[in-house]
Structure 1
Protein backbone atom coordinates (compact mmCIF):
# COMPACT_ATOMS: atom_id res chain seq x y z
CA UNK A 1 0.00 0.00 0.00
CA UNK A 2 1.30 3.45 -0.96
CA UNK A 3 2.46 5.90 1.68
CA UNK A 4 -0.20 8.53 2.57
CA UNK A 5 0.56 12.13 1.45
CA UNK A 6 0.07 13.34 5.05
CA UNK A 7 0.07 11.51 8.34
CA UNK A 8 -3.40 9.92 8.69
CA UNK A 9 -3.78 11.28 12.23
CA UNK A 10 -3.82 14.89 10.97
CA UNK A 11 -7.10 14.59 9.03
CA UNK A 12 -8.47 12.41 11.83
CA UNK A 13 -7.96 15.25 14.33
CA UNK A 14 -9.60 17.77 11.95
CA UNK A 15 -12.48 15.37 11.46
CA UNK A 16 -12.82 14.90 15.22
CA UNK A 17 -13.22 18.65 15.77
CA UNK A 18 -15.64 18.99 12.85
CA UNK A 19 -18.06 16.30 13.97
CA UNK A 20 -18.40 17.99 17.38
CA UNK A 21 -20.62 20.57 15.68
CA UNK A 22 -23.04 17.99 14.30
CA UNK A 23 -25.39 17.67 17.29
CA UNK A 24 -25.43 21.46 17.72
CA UNK A 25 -26.54 22.12 14.13
CA UNK A 26 -29.19 19.38 14.40
CA UNK A 27 -30.73 20.91 17.50
CA UNK A 28 -30.69 24.37 15.91
CA UNK A 29 -32.47 23.22 12.73
CA UNK A 30 -36.26 23.54 12.87
CA UNK A 31 -37.11 20.32 11.03
CA UNK A 32 -37.83 16.64 11.65
CA UNK A 33 -34.98 14.15 11.97
CA UNK A 34 -35.41 12.48 8.58
CA UNK A 35 -35.56 15.79 6.74
CA UNK A 36 -32.46 17.09 8.51
CA UNK A 37 -30.56 13.94 7.57
CA UNK A 38 -31.82 14.09 3.97
CA UNK A 39 -30.75 17.68 3.35
CA UNK A 40 -27.44 17.10 5.11
CA UNK A 41 -26.61 14.32 2.66
CA UNK A 42 -28.20 16.00 -0.38
CA UNK A 43 -26.17 19.20 0.03
CA UNK A 44 -23.02 17.14 0.55
CA UNK A 45 -23.59 15.26 -2.70
CA UNK A 46 -24.34 18.48 -4.62
CA UNK A 47 -21.15 20.11 -3.32
CA UNK A 48 -19.02 17.11 -4.34
CA UNK A 49 -20.74 16.48 -7.69
CA UNK A 50 -18.76 18.91 -9.93
CA UNK A 51 -15.37 17.59 -8.79
CA UNK A 52 -16.58 14.01 -9.11
CA UNK A 53 -17.89 14.47 -12.67
CA UNK A 54 -14.72 16.27 -13.75
CA UNK A 55 -12.14 13.93 -12.24
CA UNK A 56 -13.61 10.61 -11.11
CA UNK A 57 -16.74 9.74 -13.07
CA UNK A 58 -14.84 7.12 -15.07
CA UNK A 59 -14.05 5.20 -11.87
CA UNK A 60 -17.64 3.98 -11.62
CA UNK A 61 -16.79 1.48 -14.37
CA UNK A 62 -14.05 0.03 -12.17
CA UNK A 63 -16.32 -0.89 -9.30
CA UNK A 64 -16.97 -4.58 -8.83
CA UNK A 65 -20.40 -5.98 -8.01
CA UNK A 66 -19.14 -6.58 -4.47
CA UNK A 67 -18.15 -2.90 -4.19
CA UNK A 68 -21.65 -1.80 -5.19
CA UNK A 69 -23.19 -4.21 -2.70
CA UNK A 70 -21.01 -3.10 0.22
CA UNK A 71 -21.42 0.58 -0.69
CA UNK A 72 -25.19 0.21 -0.81
CA UNK A 73 -25.28 -1.49 2.58
CA UNK A 74 -22.95 1.17 4.02
CA UNK A 75 -25.13 3.98 2.63
CA UNK A 76 -28.29 2.51 4.14
CA UNK A 77 -26.62 2.04 7.52
CA UNK A 78 -25.39 5.64 7.41
CA UNK A 79 -28.87 6.96 6.58
CA UNK A 80 -30.51 5.20 9.51
CA UNK A 81 -27.64 6.14 11.82
CA UNK A 82 -28.49 9.79 11.21
CA UNK A 83 -32.22 9.19 11.65
CA UNK A 84 -31.84 7.42 15.01
CA UNK A 85 -29.18 9.80 16.31
CA UNK A 86 -30.99 12.99 15.31
CA UNK A 87 -34.16 11.62 16.86
CA UNK A 88 -32.31 10.82 20.10
CA UNK A 89 -31.36 14.52 20.41
CA UNK A 90 -35.06 15.33 20.72
CA UNK A 91 -35.33 13.30 23.91
CA UNK A 92 -31.98 13.40 25.68
CA UNK A 93 -29.13 15.87 26.12
CA UNK A 94 -26.30 16.49 23.69
CA UNK A 95 -23.85 15.07 26.25
CA UNK A 96 -25.69 11.78 26.83
CA UNK A 97 -26.48 11.25 23.15
CA UNK A 98 -22.96 11.90 21.88
CA UNK A 99 -21.29 9.82 24.62
CA UNK A 100 -23.48 6.80 23.86
CA UNK A 101 -23.06 7.17 20.09
CA UNK A 102 -19.28 7.14 20.57
CA UNK A 103 -19.33 3.66 22.06
CA UNK A 104 -18.37 2.55 18.56
CA UNK A 105 -15.16 0.72 19.52
CA UNK A 106 -17.08 -1.97 21.39
CA UNK A 107 -19.39 -2.59 18.46
CA UNK A 108 -16.47 -2.27 16.04
CA UNK A 109 -14.67 -4.99 17.94
CA UNK A 110 -17.70 -7.27 17.79
CA UNK A 111 -17.81 -6.70 14.03
CA UNK A 112 -14.10 -7.27 13.48
CA UNK A 113 -14.27 -10.37 15.70
CA UNK A 114 -17.17 -11.87 13.75
CA UNK A 115 -16.00 -10.94 10.24
CA UNK A 116 -12.21 -10.61 10.53
CA UNK A 117 -11.54 -13.07 13.39
CA UNK A 118 -9.83 -10.61 15.74
CA UNK A 119 -8.83 -12.21 19.02
CA UNK A 120 -10.40 -11.49 22.41
CA UNK A 121 -8.00 -10.41 25.15
CA UNK A 122 -8.43 -9.73 28.84
CA UNK A 123 -7.89 -6.02 28.13
CA UNK A 124 -10.76 -6.10 25.65
CA UNK A 125 -13.12 -7.71 28.14
CA UNK A 126 -12.11 -5.32 30.93
CA UNK A 127 -12.51 -2.22 28.75
CA UNK A 128 -15.88 -3.46 27.56
CA UNK A 129 -17.15 -3.97 31.10
CA UNK A 130 -15.92 -0.51 32.15
CA UNK A 131 -17.57 1.23 29.17
CA UNK A 132 -20.85 -0.62 29.70
CA UNK A 133 -20.89 0.36 33.38
CA UNK A 134 -20.40 3.98 32.35
CA UNK A 135 -23.27 3.82 29.84
CA UNK A 136 -25.53 2.22 32.45
CA UNK A 137 -24.72 5.04 34.87
CA UNK A 138 -25.58 7.67 32.22
CA UNK A 139 -28.84 5.92 31.35
CA UNK A 140 -29.80 5.43 35.00
CA UNK A 141 -29.24 9.12 35.69
CA UNK A 142 -31.30 10.05 32.63
CA UNK A 143 -34.07 7.64 33.64
CA UNK A 144 -34.27 9.38 37.01
CA UNK A 145 -34.69 12.67 35.15
CA UNK A 146 -37.36 11.36 32.75
CA UNK A 147 -38.42 8.33 30.75
CA UNK A 148 -38.00 10.39 27.57
CA UNK A 149 -34.30 10.88 28.30
CA UNK A 150 -33.83 7.11 28.67
CA UNK A 151 -35.65 6.57 25.35
CA UNK A 152 -33.25 9.05 23.74
CA UNK A 153 -30.32 7.11 25.19
CA UNK A 154 -31.62 3.89 23.61
CA UNK A 155 -31.97 5.59 20.22
CA UNK A 156 -28.38 6.85 20.53
CA UNK A 157 -27.11 3.32 21.20
CA UNK A 158 -28.93 2.01 18.12
CA UNK A 159 -27.37 4.85 16.11
CA UNK A 160 -23.98 3.74 17.44
CA UNK A 161 -24.48 0.19 16.16
CA UNK A 162 -25.54 1.49 12.75
CA UNK A 163 -22.59 3.84 12.23
CA UNK A 164 -20.16 1.11 13.27
CA UNK A 165 -21.64 -1.17 10.61
CA UNK A 166 -21.29 1.70 8.11
CA UNK A 167 -17.56 2.00 8.84
CA UNK A 168 -16.99 -1.76 8.74
CA UNK A 169 -18.58 -2.16 5.31
CA UNK A 170 -16.96 1.05 4.07
CA UNK A 171 -13.49 -0.07 5.11
CA UNK A 172 -13.67 -3.00 2.71
CA UNK A 173 -14.47 -0.79 -0.29
CA UNK A 174 -12.35 2.24 0.62
CA UNK A 175 -9.13 0.20 0.42
CA UNK A 176 -9.64 -0.15 -3.35
CA UNK A 177 -11.62 2.96 -4.33
CA UNK A 178 -10.65 6.64 -4.30
CA UNK A 179 -12.15 8.83 -1.59
CA UNK A 180 -14.35 11.02 -3.77
CA UNK A 181 -15.77 8.07 -5.72
CA UNK A 182 -16.48 6.09 -2.59
CA UNK A 183 -17.99 9.13 -0.89
CA UNK A 184 -20.21 10.02 -3.85
CA UNK A 185 -21.51 6.48 -4.19
CA UNK A 186 -22.22 5.93 -0.50
CA UNK A 187 -23.59 9.42 0.15
CA UNK A 188 -25.81 9.24 -2.94
CA UNK A 189 -27.24 5.92 -1.84
CA UNK A 190 -27.77 7.33 1.63
CA UNK A 191 -29.53 10.40 0.16
CA UNK A 192 -31.88 8.24 -1.92
CA UNK A 193 -32.66 6.09 1.12
CA UNK A 194 -33.42 9.19 3.21
CA UNK A 195 -35.61 10.68 0.46
CA UNK A 196 -37.87 7.64 0.48
CA UNK A 197 -37.86 7.59 4.28
CA UNK A 198 -39.03 11.23 4.47
CA UNK A 199 -41.59 10.68 1.71
CA UNK A 200 -43.06 7.48 3.18
CA UNK A 201 -43.09 8.84 6.73
CA UNK A 202 -44.78 12.04 5.55
CA UNK A 203 -42.17 14.47 6.86
CA UNK A 204 -41.96 17.89 5.26
CA UNK A 205 -39.40 18.72 2.55
CA UNK A 206 -40.06 22.42 3.22
CA UNK A 207 -40.46 25.32 3.30
CA UNK A 208 -38.21 26.09 6.26
CA UNK A 209 -36.89 29.29 7.88
CA UNK A 210 -33.74 30.69 6.26
CA UNK A 211 -31.53 29.78 9.24
CA UNK A 212 -32.69 26.16 9.06
CA UNK A 213 -31.37 25.99 5.49
CA UNK A 214 -28.12 27.46 6.80
CA UNK A 215 -27.87 24.70 9.41
CA UNK A 216 -28.57 22.10 6.71
CA UNK A 217 -25.71 23.51 4.63
CA UNK A 218 -23.31 23.71 7.58
CA UNK A 219 -24.12 20.08 8.46
CA UNK A 220 -23.02 19.14 4.95
CA UNK A 221 -19.84 21.22 4.96
CA UNK A 222 -18.47 20.77 8.48
CA UNK A 223 -19.40 17.35 9.95
CA UNK A 224 -19.66 15.60 6.56
CA UNK A 225 -16.97 17.11 4.32
CA UNK A 226 -14.52 17.90 7.10
CA UNK A 227 -15.64 15.07 9.36
CA UNK A 228 -16.87 11.83 7.86
CA UNK A 229 -15.11 12.32 4.53
CA UNK A 230 -11.76 12.81 6.27
CA UNK A 231 -12.43 9.66 8.30
CA UNK A 232 -13.18 7.84 5.03
CA UNK A 233 -9.89 9.12 3.60
CA UNK A 234 -7.96 7.97 6.67
CA UNK A 235 -9.58 4.54 6.84
CA UNK A 236 -7.50 3.48 3.83
CA UNK A 237 -4.42 3.55 6.10
CA UNK A 238 -5.81 2.98 9.60
CA UNK A 239 -8.25 0.52 11.11
CA UNK A 240 -11.87 1.11 12.08
CA UNK A 241 -10.79 1.11 15.73
CA UNK A 242 -8.52 4.14 15.23
CA UNK A 243 -11.43 6.09 13.77
CA UNK A 244 -13.59 4.98 16.68
CA UNK A 245 -11.16 6.32 19.30
CA UNK A 246 -11.03 9.69 17.52
CA UNK A 247 -14.80 9.91 17.75
CA UNK A 248 -14.51 9.57 21.55
CA UNK A 249 -13.57 13.22 21.80
CA UNK A 250 -16.77 14.37 20.08
CA UNK A 251 -18.83 14.41 23.32
CA UNK A 252 -16.32 16.74 24.98
CA UNK A 253 -16.50 19.36 22.23
CA UNK A 254 -20.25 18.94 21.72
CA UNK A 255 -20.98 19.21 25.47
CA UNK A 256 -18.97 22.43 25.76
CA UNK A 257 -20.80 23.92 22.77
CA UNK A 258 -24.19 22.79 24.14
CA UNK A 259 -23.41 24.42 27.47
CA UNK A 260 -22.79 27.82 25.90
CA UNK A 261 -25.45 27.65 23.16
CA UNK A 262 -28.33 25.81 24.85
CA UNK A 263 -27.38 26.14 28.51
CA UNK A 264 -27.30 22.33 28.88
CA UNK A 265 -25.59 21.67 32.18
CA UNK A 266 -24.11 18.27 32.89
CA UNK A 267 -25.46 16.16 35.74
CA UNK A 268 -23.19 14.17 38.06
CA UNK A 269 -24.22 10.89 36.42
CA UNK A 270 -23.45 12.26 32.94
CA UNK A 271 -20.00 13.50 33.98
CA UNK A 272 -19.01 10.38 35.91
CA UNK A 273 -20.62 7.96 33.45
CA UNK A 274 -19.14 9.76 30.45
CA UNK A 275 -15.65 9.71 31.94
CA UNK A 276 -16.02 5.99 32.73
CA UNK A 277 -17.11 5.26 29.15
CA UNK A 278 -14.20 7.20 27.69
CA UNK A 279 -11.79 5.52 30.14
CA UNK A 280 -13.01 2.07 29.11
CA UNK A 281 -12.79 2.83 25.41
CA UNK A 282 -9.37 4.43 25.77
CA UNK A 283 -8.19 1.27 27.49
CA UNK A 284 -9.60 -0.75 24.60
CA UNK A 285 -7.74 0.97 21.76
CA UNK A 286 -4.83 2.79 23.37
CA UNK A 287 -1.52 0.99 23.05
CA UNK A 288 1.44 3.31 23.67
CA UNK A 289 4.08 0.95 22.28
CA UNK A 290 2.15 0.46 19.05
CA UNK A 291 1.68 4.21 18.62
CA UNK A 292 5.38 4.88 19.20
CA UNK A 293 6.34 2.27 16.59
CA UNK A 294 3.79 3.71 14.15
CA UNK A 295 5.10 7.27 14.46
CA UNK A 296 8.74 6.17 14.13
CA UNK A 297 7.88 4.12 11.05
CA UNK A 298 6.24 7.11 9.40
CA UNK A 299 8.83 9.77 10.34
Structure 2
Protein backbone atom coordinates (compact mmCIF):
# COMPACT_ATOMS: atom_id res chain seq x y z
CA UNK A 1 0.00 0.00 0.00
CA UNK A 2 1.36 3.44 -0.95
CA UNK A 3 2.37 5.88 1.74
CA UNK A 4 -0.05 8.78 2.42
CA UNK A 5 0.81 12.17 0.91
CA UNK A 6 0.48 13.76 4.36
CA UNK A 7 0.48 12.49 7.90
CA UNK A 8 -3.06 11.04 8.40
CA UNK A 9 -3.24 12.60 11.85
CA UNK A 10 -3.50 16.08 10.28
CA UNK A 11 -6.76 15.34 8.37
CA UNK A 12 -8.09 13.55 11.46
CA UNK A 13 -7.52 16.66 13.60
CA UNK A 14 -9.24 18.88 11.01
CA UNK A 15 -12.07 16.36 10.84
CA UNK A 16 -12.60 16.44 14.60
CA UNK A 17 -12.90 20.23 14.65
CA UNK A 18 -15.33 20.04 11.72
CA UNK A 19 -17.65 17.47 13.29
CA UNK A 20 -17.63 19.43 16.57
CA UNK A 21 -19.77 22.02 14.77
CA UNK A 22 -22.40 19.45 13.83
CA UNK A 23 -24.33 19.55 17.13
CA UNK A 24 -24.41 23.34 17.04
CA UNK A 25 -25.86 23.42 13.53
CA UNK A 26 -28.47 20.78 14.44
CA UNK A 27 -29.50 22.75 17.53
CA UNK A 28 -30.07 25.79 15.31
CA UNK A 29 -32.56 23.97 13.06
CA UNK A 30 -36.26 23.42 13.74
CA UNK A 31 -36.80 20.64 11.19
CA UNK A 32 -37.41 17.01 12.19
CA UNK A 33 -34.31 14.92 12.83
CA UNK A 34 -34.81 12.70 9.78
CA UNK A 35 -35.31 15.71 7.50
CA UNK A 36 -32.19 17.44 8.83
CA UNK A 37 -30.15 14.28 8.27
CA UNK A 38 -31.64 13.79 4.79
CA UNK A 39 -30.74 17.25 3.51
CA UNK A 40 -27.31 17.02 5.10
CA UNK A 41 -26.61 13.88 3.08
CA UNK A 42 -28.43 15.03 -0.09
CA UNK A 43 -26.49 18.29 -0.31
CA UNK A 44 -23.27 16.35 0.31
CA UNK A 45 -23.75 14.05 -2.68
CA UNK A 46 -24.95 16.93 -4.89
CA UNK A 47 -21.74 18.83 -4.13
CA UNK A 48 -19.65 15.71 -4.77
CA UNK A 49 -21.48 14.69 -7.97
CA UNK A 50 -19.44 16.72 -10.53
CA UNK A 51 -16.12 15.29 -9.30
CA UNK A 52 -17.50 11.77 -9.04
CA UNK A 53 -19.18 11.78 -12.48
CA UNK A 54 -16.17 13.25 -14.28
CA UNK A 55 -13.48 11.00 -12.83
CA UNK A 56 -14.65 8.12 -10.64
CA UNK A 57 -17.67 6.46 -12.26
CA UNK A 58 -15.55 3.68 -13.89
CA UNK A 59 -14.52 2.53 -10.42
CA UNK A 60 -18.11 1.55 -9.66
CA UNK A 61 -17.67 -1.45 -11.96
CA UNK A 62 -14.75 -2.67 -9.83
CA UNK A 63 -16.84 -3.00 -6.69
CA UNK A 64 -17.31 -6.62 -5.67
CA UNK A 65 -20.52 -8.00 -4.17
CA UNK A 66 -18.80 -7.88 -0.77
CA UNK A 67 -17.92 -4.19 -1.33
CA UNK A 68 -21.52 -3.36 -2.23
CA UNK A 69 -22.86 -5.19 0.81
CA UNK A 70 -20.41 -3.60 3.25
CA UNK A 71 -20.83 -0.13 1.75
CA UNK A 72 -24.62 -0.40 1.83
CA UNK A 73 -24.59 -1.54 5.45
CA UNK A 74 -22.26 1.35 6.31
CA UNK A 75 -24.64 3.82 4.62
CA UNK A 76 -27.66 2.48 6.51
CA UNK A 77 -25.78 2.64 9.82
CA UNK A 78 -24.72 6.21 9.05
CA UNK A 79 -28.32 7.23 8.29
CA UNK A 80 -29.67 5.90 11.57
CA UNK A 81 -26.71 7.29 13.47
CA UNK A 82 -27.71 10.76 12.32
CA UNK A 83 -31.40 10.19 13.02
CA UNK A 84 -30.81 9.04 16.59
CA UNK A 85 -28.10 11.56 17.40
CA UNK A 86 -30.06 14.54 16.01
CA UNK A 87 -33.11 13.34 17.93
CA UNK A 88 -31.08 13.07 21.14
CA UNK A 89 -30.24 16.78 20.88
CA UNK A 90 -33.94 17.53 21.32
CA UNK A 91 -33.88 16.02 24.79
CA UNK A 92 -30.43 16.55 26.25
CA UNK A 93 -27.62 19.10 26.08
CA UNK A 94 -24.89 19.38 23.46
CA UNK A 95 -22.32 18.37 26.09
CA UNK A 96 -24.13 15.21 27.19
CA UNK A 97 -25.07 14.15 23.66
CA UNK A 98 -21.61 14.60 22.18
CA UNK A 99 -20.01 12.87 25.17
CA UNK A 100 -22.13 9.76 24.68
CA UNK A 101 -21.93 9.71 20.89
CA UNK A 102 -18.12 9.85 21.01
CA UNK A 103 -17.62 6.95 23.44
CA UNK A 104 -16.58 4.97 20.38
CA UNK A 105 -13.48 3.23 21.78
CA UNK A 106 -15.73 1.02 23.92
CA UNK A 107 -17.23 -0.31 20.67
CA UNK A 108 -14.25 0.18 18.34
CA UNK A 109 -11.76 -1.74 20.48
CA UNK A 110 -14.13 -4.70 20.65
CA UNK A 111 -15.02 -4.47 16.96
CA UNK A 112 -11.47 -4.31 15.62
CA UNK A 113 -10.44 -7.13 17.95
CA UNK A 114 -13.22 -9.53 16.90
CA UNK A 115 -13.52 -8.59 13.20
CA UNK A 116 -9.98 -7.56 12.24
CA UNK A 117 -7.98 -9.46 14.89
CA UNK A 118 -6.14 -6.28 15.89
CA UNK A 119 -4.27 -6.78 19.13
CA UNK A 120 -4.71 -4.14 21.78
CA UNK A 121 -1.68 -3.07 23.78
CA UNK A 122 -1.95 -2.12 27.44
CA UNK A 123 -1.12 1.46 26.45
CA UNK A 124 -3.99 1.56 23.96
CA UNK A 125 -6.48 0.22 26.49
CA UNK A 126 -5.30 2.53 29.28
CA UNK A 127 -5.36 5.62 27.06
CA UNK A 128 -8.83 4.70 25.85
CA UNK A 129 -10.12 4.21 29.38
CA UNK A 130 -8.65 7.57 30.45
CA UNK A 131 -10.19 9.38 27.49
CA UNK A 132 -13.57 7.71 27.98
CA UNK A 133 -13.45 8.60 31.67
CA UNK A 134 -12.79 12.21 30.71
CA UNK A 135 -15.72 12.16 28.31
CA UNK A 136 -18.02 10.94 31.07
CA UNK A 137 -16.79 13.73 33.35
CA UNK A 138 -17.54 16.36 30.69
CA UNK A 139 -21.22 15.58 30.78
CA UNK A 140 -21.48 14.37 34.38
CA UNK A 141 -23.00 17.57 35.73
CA UNK A 142 -25.62 17.53 32.97
CA UNK A 143 -26.57 13.85 33.06
CA UNK A 144 -30.04 13.15 34.48
CA UNK A 145 -31.03 9.62 35.40
CA UNK A 146 -34.73 10.09 34.64
CA UNK A 147 -37.20 11.67 32.28
CA UNK A 148 -36.53 13.00 28.80
CA UNK A 149 -32.84 13.69 29.41
CA UNK A 150 -32.26 9.98 30.05
CA UNK A 151 -34.13 9.19 26.82
CA UNK A 152 -31.87 11.59 24.93
CA UNK A 153 -28.80 10.04 26.52
CA UNK A 154 -29.87 6.56 25.43
CA UNK A 155 -30.45 7.72 21.85
CA UNK A 156 -26.97 9.25 21.77
CA UNK A 157 -25.41 6.05 23.11
CA UNK A 158 -27.09 3.92 20.41
CA UNK A 159 -25.97 6.49 17.81
CA UNK A 160 -22.43 5.97 19.10
CA UNK A 161 -22.61 2.23 18.46
CA UNK A 162 -23.95 2.84 14.94
CA UNK A 163 -21.21 5.28 13.91
CA UNK A 164 -18.57 2.84 15.15
CA UNK A 165 -20.13 0.05 13.06
CA UNK A 166 -20.15 2.45 10.09
CA UNK A 167 -16.40 3.04 10.49
CA UNK A 168 -15.66 -0.66 10.92
CA UNK A 169 -17.36 -1.61 7.66
CA UNK A 170 -15.68 1.32 5.94
CA UNK A 171 -12.26 0.22 7.19
CA UNK A 172 -12.64 -2.98 5.19
CA UNK A 173 -13.89 -1.41 1.94
CA UNK A 174 -11.54 1.60 1.92
CA UNK A 175 -8.57 -0.74 1.46
CA UNK A 176 -9.76 -1.40 -2.10
CA UNK A 177 -11.55 1.66 -3.46
CA UNK A 178 -10.91 5.41 -3.64
CA UNK A 179 -12.14 7.89 -1.07
CA UNK A 180 -14.46 9.70 -3.51
CA UNK A 181 -16.15 6.52 -4.77
CA UNK A 182 -16.57 5.05 -1.30
CA UNK A 183 -17.90 8.29 0.19
CA UNK A 184 -20.27 8.95 -2.72
CA UNK A 185 -21.76 5.46 -2.57
CA UNK A 186 -22.08 5.48 1.24
CA UNK A 187 -23.69 8.92 1.28
CA UNK A 188 -26.05 7.91 -1.55
CA UNK A 189 -27.20 4.81 0.33
CA UNK A 190 -27.62 6.90 3.45
CA UNK A 191 -29.67 9.51 1.57
CA UNK A 192 -31.98 6.87 0.06
CA UNK A 193 -32.44 5.29 3.50
CA UNK A 194 -33.35 8.66 5.00
CA UNK A 195 -35.74 9.42 2.12
CA UNK A 196 -37.82 6.33 2.84
CA UNK A 197 -37.55 6.94 6.59
CA UNK A 198 -39.10 10.42 6.16
CA UNK A 199 -41.91 9.02 4.03
CA UNK A 200 -42.59 6.26 6.57
CA UNK A 201 -42.64 8.80 9.42
CA UNK A 202 -44.82 11.25 7.50
CA UNK A 203 -42.35 14.09 8.00
CA UNK A 204 -42.28 17.09 5.67
CA UNK A 205 -39.62 17.72 3.01
CA UNK A 206 -40.52 21.43 3.06
CA UNK A 207 -40.99 24.27 2.57
CA UNK A 208 -38.54 25.75 5.08
CA UNK A 209 -37.26 29.30 5.66
CA UNK A 210 -33.93 30.37 4.18
CA UNK A 211 -32.19 30.00 7.55
CA UNK A 212 -33.05 26.29 7.66
CA UNK A 213 -31.57 25.69 4.22
CA UNK A 214 -28.41 27.48 5.35
CA UNK A 215 -28.00 25.11 8.31
CA UNK A 216 -28.65 22.08 6.08
CA UNK A 217 -25.97 23.28 3.66
CA UNK A 218 -23.46 24.00 6.43
CA UNK A 219 -24.03 20.52 7.85
CA UNK A 220 -23.21 19.06 4.44
CA UNK A 221 -20.10 21.15 3.82
CA UNK A 222 -18.37 21.24 7.20
CA UNK A 223 -19.12 18.11 9.29
CA UNK A 224 -19.72 15.85 6.26
CA UNK A 225 -17.46 16.92 3.39
CA UNK A 226 -14.69 18.07 5.69
CA UNK A 227 -15.21 15.94 8.80
CA UNK A 228 -16.46 12.48 7.82
CA UNK A 229 -14.78 12.52 4.42
CA UNK A 230 -11.42 13.17 6.06
CA UNK A 231 -12.08 10.28 8.44
CA UNK A 232 -12.91 8.04 5.46
CA UNK A 233 -9.68 9.11 3.76
CA UNK A 234 -7.70 8.25 6.88
CA UNK A 235 -9.22 4.76 7.13
CA UNK A 236 -6.96 3.63 4.28
CA UNK A 237 -3.92 4.07 6.49
CA UNK A 238 -5.06 4.02 10.11
CA UNK A 239 -7.30 1.87 12.26
CA UNK A 240 -10.82 2.74 13.38
CA UNK A 241 -9.32 2.84 16.88
CA UNK A 242 -7.14 5.85 16.01
CA UNK A 243 -10.09 7.85 14.71
CA UNK A 244 -12.30 6.83 17.63
CA UNK A 245 -9.72 8.09 20.12
CA UNK A 246 -9.29 11.37 18.24
CA UNK A 247 -13.06 11.95 18.03
CA UNK A 248 -13.13 11.99 21.82
CA UNK A 249 -11.93 15.58 21.49
CA UNK A 250 -15.26 16.49 19.86
CA UNK A 251 -17.16 17.00 23.17
CA UNK A 252 -14.51 19.51 24.25
CA UNK A 253 -14.95 21.63 21.15
CA UNK A 254 -18.73 21.18 21.08
CA UNK A 255 -19.13 22.16 24.73
CA UNK A 256 -17.06 25.32 24.22
CA UNK A 257 -19.03 26.25 21.09
CA UNK A 258 -22.33 25.56 22.87
CA UNK A 259 -21.28 27.93 25.66
CA UNK A 260 -20.55 30.84 23.32
CA UNK A 261 -23.27 30.25 20.71
CA UNK A 262 -26.14 28.62 22.62
CA UNK A 263 -25.43 29.88 26.12
CA UNK A 264 -25.08 26.36 27.57
CA UNK A 265 -22.97 26.76 30.70
CA UNK A 266 -19.91 24.62 31.36
CA UNK A 267 -19.65 22.91 34.74
CA UNK A 268 -16.45 22.21 36.62
CA UNK A 269 -16.79 18.50 35.78
CA UNK A 270 -16.98 19.32 32.08
CA UNK A 271 -13.84 21.44 32.22
CA UNK A 272 -11.95 18.79 34.21
CA UNK A 273 -13.25 16.07 31.90
CA UNK A 274 -12.00 17.95 28.85
CA UNK A 275 -8.53 18.03 30.34
CA UNK A 276 -8.68 14.28 31.03
CA UNK A 277 -9.78 13.60 27.43
CA UNK A 278 -6.78 15.53 26.15
CA UNK A 279 -4.51 13.59 28.51
CA UNK A 280 -5.81 10.30 27.11
CA UNK A 281 -5.30 11.44 23.53
CA UNK A 282 -1.77 12.69 24.26
CA UNK A 283 -0.91 9.34 25.88
CA UNK A 284 -2.22 7.51 22.82
CA UNK A 285 -0.27 9.54 20.24
CA UNK A 286 2.87 10.30 22.25
CA UNK A 287 4.98 7.48 20.78
CA UNK A 288 4.50 7.90 17.03
CA UNK A 289 6.77 4.98 16.09
CA UNK A 290 4.70 2.48 18.06
CA UNK A 291 1.47 3.84 16.59
CA UNK A 292 2.92 3.64 13.09
CA UNK A 293 3.96 0.01 13.47
CA UNK A 294 0.71 -0.97 15.14
CA UNK A 295 -1.92 0.92 13.19
CA UNK A 296 -0.52 1.97 9.84
CA UNK A 297 -1.30 -0.49 7.07
CA UNK A 298 1.84 -0.10 4.98
CA UNK A 299 4.39 -2.58 3.72
CA UNK A 300 7.70 -2.83 5.48
Query: TM-score with structure 2 length normalisation?
Result: 0.89
Compared CA separation, residues 140 and 191, structure 1 to 2 (3 A): same
Compared CA separation, residues 279 and 150, structure 1 to 2 (3 A): farther
2:223 is the counterpart of 1:184: no
Paired position in structure 1 for 2:287: 288
Distance 2:98 2:140 in 1: 16
203-212 vs 11-20, which moves further: 11-20
240-249 vs 230-239, which moves further: 240-249
In the TM superposition, what are the counterparts of 1:102-251 in structure 2 within 5 Å? 102-123=102-123, 126=126, 130=130, 141-144=141-144, 147-251=147-251
Equivalent residues of 2:112, 2:241 under 8 A apart: no
Cα deviation, residue 269, structure 1: 3.9
State the SS of the aligned residue for 1:56.
helix
Distance 1:172 1:293 in 2: 19
Cα deviation, residue 150, structure 1: 2.4
Equivalent residues of 2:285, 2:291 under 8 A apart: no
45-54 vs 124-133, which moves further: 124-133
Cα deviation, residue 257, structure 1: 1.2
1:143-180, CA deviations, whole angstroms, 9 ceiling, x for partnerless residues?
44863222222211111110000000001001110111
Paired position in structure 1 for 2:65: 65
State the SS of the aligned residue for 1:50.
helix
In the TM superposition, what are the counterparts of 1:65-84 in structure 2 within 5 Å? 65-84=65-84
Query: In the comparison of the two structures, how many residue pairs are matched?
Result: 295
Paired position in structure 2 for 1:44: 44
Equivalent residues of 1:70, 1:169 under 8 A apart: yes
2:9 is the counterpart of 1:6: no
State the SS of the aligned residue for 1:265.
coil
Compared CA separation, residues 225 and 291, structure 1 to 2 (3 A): farther
State the SS of the aligned residue for 2:238.
coil
247-256 vs 83-92, which moves further: 247-256
Equivalent residues of 1:142, 1:150 under 8 A apart: no
Compared CA separation, residues 218 and 186, structure 1 to 2 (3 A): same
166-175 vs 123-132, which moves further: 123-132
Distance 1:168 1:107 in 2: 10
Distance 1:196 1:183 in 2: 20
Query: TM-score with structure 1 length normalisation?
Result: 0.89
Compared CA separation, residues 154 and 274, structure 1 to 2 (3 A): farther
Equivalent residues of 1:33, 1:87 under 8 A apart: yes
Alignment RMSD: 2.5
Compared CA separation, residues 155 and 144, structure 1 to 2 (3 A): closer
- Structure 2 segments unaligned to the other structure (5+ residues): none
